[in-house]
Structure 1
Amino acid sequence: MDSSDLLPVGRRVAYWRRRRRMSQQVFADRLGKSKSWVDKIERGVRSLDKVSTLRDIAAVLRIDTAVLLGRDVQPVVVVERVQGVERIRAALSTYEIAVGRPAAHPLVLPADPVGPGCRARVGDVPACPVPAGRSGGPGSAGRRAAGRRR
């Protein structure tokens, strides 16, 4: 919840005007109102009772009218994105983390058998022969590129 959600409409107008780095005079000019009118709205002396005025203010401040009224509703796209993040977070929590915290729900995978053509296993990784034509050694890509230039 944003700190502006608890404020009266006039205070929200002032909050968003300051966030947009607009003076009361510039804001008033863009609305076609006087600086005095803006000051009274922001202090709550004058009420915002016309929907058209609320829309104009929201447009100048580049915010939704619902935000101005304190009824900020997240769009469906944002809700879906948050749910997607939660699904990813849940999936990642099944893995053990390098900092030593055990996973909430450890995922047990079957051990892979040593594949055909593999000589042995080094730790948990099969030590398989490198396919023909690829040495795979350090700097081998540079040597191959140098050979083509000759």
Structure 2
Amino acid sequence: MKHYLRFSGRSGRIEFLTTWIGSFAVSSLLTQIVFFIEAFSRQEPKGLWRATVVLITGVPAVALDFLVMWVFYTAIVRRMHDIGLSGWLLLMVIGLVVWLGVAGMLLPDMIVTFFGFLALVLLPGNIGKNAFGERPPLFNGFMEVKQQEEGRNPNDKRIDFKL
């Protein structure tokens, strides 16, 4: 879990996609829970009861949602590192998306977000070591284990397509 909270290192496409799917699912679930509790609290008398319900459920849900966002943004930065880009570029992209959204240009906002996500999913990472570290361990670990099982040298770069 410590890996998912830090910005350093590299993440492959599979790790990025699974982090995105998990973040989306948890965030959606938290949003539904907050909406359900908010709707339920409207049925009860107003005043202190409603404020208590919102505080007890809303504050932890928002805190968990920020944690989910943190994990997702660290995955984006590590994926950018795998492609060979600096994670600071993400701040410029977020600034552009926020600026477009505030300016009321929602279609360009969605286009920038969509193509940025698509680039992170489709672009292959740098082969071997780059400025941000070694290739993500999911790829290296799988290939090394498979080659050792076959009695081959782990430095042999041939790829077999059988599993």
- Fold match (TM-score > 0.5): no
* Larger helix proportion of the pair: 2
Structure whose CA Rg is larger: 1
- TM-score normalized by structure 2? 0.23
Q: Bigger relative contact order, structure 1 or 2, given CA contacts below 8 A and separation 6+? A: 2
